[in-house]
Structure 1
Amino acid sequence: MSGSIVDFFTRIFAALGRGIGRLLAWLAWPFVALGRWYKHRGWIVRAVVGAVLLLFVGLYAYFFWQTQVWTGFNPDYVQAYDLTNRSVSAGEPVAATGDEGPRTCGRSAVADVAADLTDFNVNENAWISSMLLYKLGFFGLDWDDTPFFDNKASFQRGVNQAVRRTSVELVDALGRVRGTSQIDSDLQKARESIQFSEDAWYFGLSPFGPKTPTPSFYRTATASLRAFNDRLESCDAVFDARADNLIQFLDRIANDIGSTSAILRERSENYNSGWFDTRADDRFWFAYGQLYGYYGLLHAARADFEDVVAQRSLGSLWDTTENQLRAALNITPFIISNGREAGWIMPTHLATMGFYILRVRSNLVELRQVLDR
């Protein structure tokens, strides 16, 4: 009896070994055939092919490095701005001290943070979504449909979504007086640049021909935001730090993250493949990037609307909102799992992130209600 059991498992493992061997042979066959062809070519052909292969390997090494190393990533990045000690709203004249000098006004922390987040995306790091190898995918399969190399790209797109939403509000409301004054040219240029396609490379098929890559447009947006802030500091630009503008800004953020919450819910409810859901990671990291961006932008908005926050006694509630955002940034699992909510083996990171987003949104709605009284 024991011999039969041993024979049974021996046959099972032998069959598995043959299957794995055939799979490896099938995967290796193109490379073996290429090697045989390469050995029988002349030295010129071999030199050209070798150079192409070397370039190919180099590109993939660079691609691997850029997708895995997150330069400058810091969930506590808002502390570097030291905005808690600022006592002047954006655009408000700064009281002169000592000898009179040029008139100055408060800078916009929102514009500074938006510029720095974009700089973080395209200068401190490579913008992954427009890299050639990312666009080519994994043997033609979109990287977002695989569990590899797409986390940083999704995170960057989430951060960029927060900056895009903010750039619209800067142009339409914050950077002009009651919506009736002339649109600020620097803010308009920043909005146009940051709204550019996220995946443009140097050449495209639709339309066919050479293109300006995405990072160049985003660098222009960064420069335009900083140019606006320099003019604002010189009192040559406008930042309308009124309560109704803050209400509208909070509304837009709440709607934006509410949409992301719906995306997470749809994926969590309809797909429960646990660690094997290949789209769960890009959904998660997009939401994480969005909250990462809004954490800094809301912290900045509190400084820009310092008078409004103080007059309406919003300090405690604003602290709670920022604490909720910061708590969400503690969720950084090594592998993103989209399991069932009642499951006991595979966790459900999408539902967890969705829970934090809804808590933040609830705090934003409460802030808006207090401001609207």
Structure 2
Amino acid sequence: MLDSITALWKRMTAAIGRWLGLVFVGIAWPFLAAHGWYRHRNWMIKLPVAAFVALLAVLYIYFIWQTQVWSGFNTAYPDVYKFSERKFSAGQELPATSGQQAAATAPKACQTSAVVDVAADLTDFNVNQNAWISSMLLYKLGFFGMSWDDTPFLDNKASFQRGVNSVVRRTSAELVDTIGRVRGTSGINSDLQKARGNLQFDESSWYFGLHPFGPKTPSPSYYRAAIANLRNFNADLGSCKTIFDGRADKLLQFVDHIAGDLGSTVNILADRSQNYSYGWFDTRADDRFWFAYGQLYASYGILSAAGADFQQVIAERNASVLWTDTLAMLRTALRIQPFIISNGSEDSSFMPSHLATMGFHVLRVRSNLVEIRTVLGGR
């Protein structure tokens, strides 16, 4: 019995060794062939080729560095804003702090929007503090023609950034359609309208494209313009020149749409977890995980900010405890940061199911948001 097991093990290791050898030969052959060709060329050909290879090496070093270093990443970033110290809801006129005579002549000042601040800062985090990975040339070229999303390498940051951006896009749409106007028939704020349009721009646009063919404006340029648009709106709001309508029905709709987006993410995670449970060998599991993580990361900041902007409504509807619980759930979910994402079966004792775990936390947050929506809609 022992001899047969030993023989089977030897055959398996020999087969794996041959397979790895073939993979190595397949990868190395183009480079060996290119080296043989290069060695027999004259210097007029060698010099441009060497310069191109050197440039490509520098670009890849930069690309790898940008995908692996996450500047400004902080799961506790909402604490920096000190939202608990805000005493007025967004858009409310602030009382004068100086003497009565000076107060009479001082220009009016209103509370700025925390939601707008966080949306602008999250976009700044994506495109200024970090490189926007999805539109980088080497990311678009892929791994030997294969999309980086189909590999287990160098795509986690891109997925995370897209998850963050999806929440900021949703926020910008809500600001334009509901929160930044008194009613459906009132005028749309031009800065918010521009911000929404810029944030909706294609996430993978580079300086040149094939569909349509020709030069393009890269995605980060549009997102940087959106940052300026959002900050302009908040400056006008601080001067009481524009509107932030903090009614309960506006918050209800905002929460409802965020819950709907998270519900779609739960379905994506569940589908991948149930139908592609290949453990550590599922090359798309990391994309799904980090997109969901990016959504929760941005939702934590946006909902923390909304708690400050709509503090009066939340207190009047007795939703403070639910709101605080939701933020605590988001903080708990953001502690899950596995080094390697595994998509094993849920009852596996060897390969964990990180997608199922993330799906559980997203579902918890969504369930609380649905309950908040019910409370806000009560009479």
State the Cα distance separating 1:271 from its structure 2 match.
1.1
> What is aligned with 1:234?
239
Deviates more, 1:147-156 or 1:25-34: 25-34
> What is aligned with 2:119?
114
- Aligned-partner residue type, residue 200 of structure 2: Q
> What is aligned with 1:95?
95
> What is aligned with 2:207?
202
> What is aligned with 1:369?
374
Q: How does 1:216-255 map to 2 (within 5 A)?
A: 216-255=221-260
Distance in 1 between residues matched to 2:123 and 2:149, nearest whole Å: 22
State the Cα distance separating 1:342 from its structure 2 match.
1.2
Distance in 2 between residues matched to 1:6 and 1:263, nearest whole Å: 43
Q: How does 1:339-350 map to 2 (within 5 A)?
A: 339-350=344-355
> What is aligned with 2:65?
65
> What is aligned with 1:318?
323
Q: How does 1:280-299 map to 2 (within 5 A)?
A: 280-299=285-304
> What is aligned with 1:34?
34
Distance in 2 between residues matched to 1:7 and 1:176, nearest whole Å: 76
Q: How does 1:324-343 map to 2 (within 5 A)?
A: 324-343=329-348
Distance in 1 between residues matched to 2:217 and 2:338, nearest whole Å: 36
> What is aligned with 1:353?
358
Distance 1:102 1:144, change over 3 A: same
2:143 corresponds to 1:138: yes
2:174 corresponds to 1:160: no
> What is aligned with 1:215?
220
Q: How does 1:120-131 map to 2 (within 5 A)?
A: 120-131=125-136
- Aligned-partner residue type, residue 321 of structure 2: S
Distance 1:8 1:313, change over 3 A: closer
Cα RMSD over matched residues?
2.0
Distance 1:167 1:26, change over 3 A: closer
State the Cα distance separating 1:343 from its structure 2 match.
1.2
Distance 1:369 1:65, change over 3 A: same
Distance in 2 between residues matched to 1:2 and 1:370, nearest whole Å: 67
What is the SS of the residue equivalent to 1:37?
helix
TM-score w.r.t. length of structure 2:
0.94
Distance 1:34 1:244, change over 3 A: same
Distance in 2 between residues matched to 1:202 and 1:62, nearest whole Å: 18
Q: How does 1:290-309 map to 2 (within 5 A)?
A: 290-309=295-314
State the Cα distance separating 1:180 from its structure 2 match.
2.2
State the Cα distance separating 1:370 from its structure 2 match.
1.3
State the Cα distance separating 1:198 from its structure 2 match.
0.5
State the Cα distance separating 1:33 from its structure 2 match.
2.0
TM-score w.r.t. length of structure 1:
0.96
State the Cα distance separating 1:83 from its structure 2 match.
0.5
State the Cα distance separating 1:2 from its structure 2 match.
9.9
What is the SS of the residue equivalent to 1:140?
coil
Distance in 2 between residues matched to 1:256 and 1:21, nearest whole Å: 46
Deviates more, 1:6-15 or 1:73-82: 6-15
Distance 1:19 1:276, change over 3 A: closer
> What is aligned with 2:274?
269
1:27-68 residue CA offsets vs partner (Å, 9 max, x unmatched): 322222222221221112111000000011111111100000
Structure 1, unmatched stretches of 5+, are none
State the Cα distance separating 1:8 from its structure 2 match.
8.7
Distance in 1 between residues matched to 2:224 and 2:54, nearest whole Å: 31
What is the SS of the residue equivalent to 2:128?
helix
Structure 2, unmatched stretches of 5+, are none
Distance in 2 between residues matched to 1:182 and 1:358, nearest whole Å: 36
Distance 1:191 1:16, change over 3 A: closer
- Aligned-partner residue type, residue 59 of structure 2: L
- Aligned-partner residue type, residue 363 of structure 2: L
Distance in 1 between residues matched to 2:297 and 2:4, nearest whole Å: 60
- Aligned-partner residue type, residue 183 of structure 2: R
Q: How many residues align?
A: 373
- Aligned-partner residue type, residue 53 of structure 2: L
2:190 to 156, 181, 185: 185
State the Cα distance separating 1:344 from its structure 2 match.
1.1
Distance in 2 between residues matched to 1:278 and 1:348, nearest whole Å: 14
1:277-329 residue CA offsets vs partner (Å, 9 max, x unmatched): 11111001000000101110000001111111122222211110100111110
> What is aligned with 1:51?
51
- Aligned-partner residue type, residue 65 of structure 1: W
Distance 1:209 1:83, change over 3 A: same
Distance in 2 between residues matched to 1:89 and 1:299, nearest whole Å: 13
